[in-house]
Amino acid sequence: MTFPVRAITLDLDDTLWPIAPAIDRAEAALDAWLARRLPHAAGFWTREERNRLRALVDRERPELAHDMTAQRQWMLERMLQASGADAALAEDAFEAYFAARCEVEHYADSVPALERLAARVPLAALSNGNACLRRIGLIHLFRFQLGAREHGAAKPDPGIFHAACAQLGRAPGEVLHVGDDVEMDVVGAHRAGLRSCWLNRDGRAWPRHDVRPDLEFADLAALADWLDALPSHRIRPAA
């Protein structure tokens, strides 16, 4: 299938890098911070207890559902309060966690493919997560990064897709959204009027009958190959 592509928006977690190792590193960094700064509380605030606190966020602060940074900060403040510690330490604890969360390990194809894509069309990051492309070192390949936290609503809400299209200066039908998540990325993009590409690294079967992605690839290199093969009049070069 071919169609015009004037810009591309990309999901981040589990699209450009696997999220699980990054979260494991972040939790380990928080364990180390607790052991160093609050040794009396470290034994209680295990990862299991932190997971229970994470579930409490959903119940007590549903308005933070789109904001993973605010969720984590709320959790840390509750942990410090329960431990009798200075709440001002929450900023330091979050930095320990977040710095490690941004130590991602890219899929082998990601960076070379992004460089190829960025040479052809404008790229924008569109994520529900809170990874920072500036810290990660990829922001130079993107026109901008738009997160659910900044926008005020998460994918699959059509508003975040439309906001990205507006910032790119393109109609939704001229923008291709790329991501791994069936509902958040493919269905969300489809309902917002964008073209969609399902990045199916695990070789899963498409689970829905009512909506299908416009494209499906096993990695970003295959998407870059597809874009390279498009007739030049169907691509607007990145300026």
Alpha-carbon gap, residue 2 to 22, rounded angstroms: 35
Burial class (CB in 10 A: 0-12, 13-18, 19+), 233: exposed
Alpha-carbon gap, residue 213 to 196, rounded angstroms: 5
> Which of 183, 229, 205 minimizes the C-alpha distance to 196?
183
Query: CB atoms < 10 A from the CB of 104, how many?
Result: 22
Q: Are 124 and 6 in contact (CB under 8 A)?
A: no
3-state helix vs strand vs coil in the chain, percent to 5: 55, 15, 35
Q: Is the dihedral of CA 20, 204, 226, 166 positive or negative?
A: negative
Angstrom CA distances, 140 to 89, 162, 232, stand at 32, 23, 24
Residues classed as catalytic: 11
The phi and psi torsions of 126 (rounded to 5 degrees) equal -135, 100
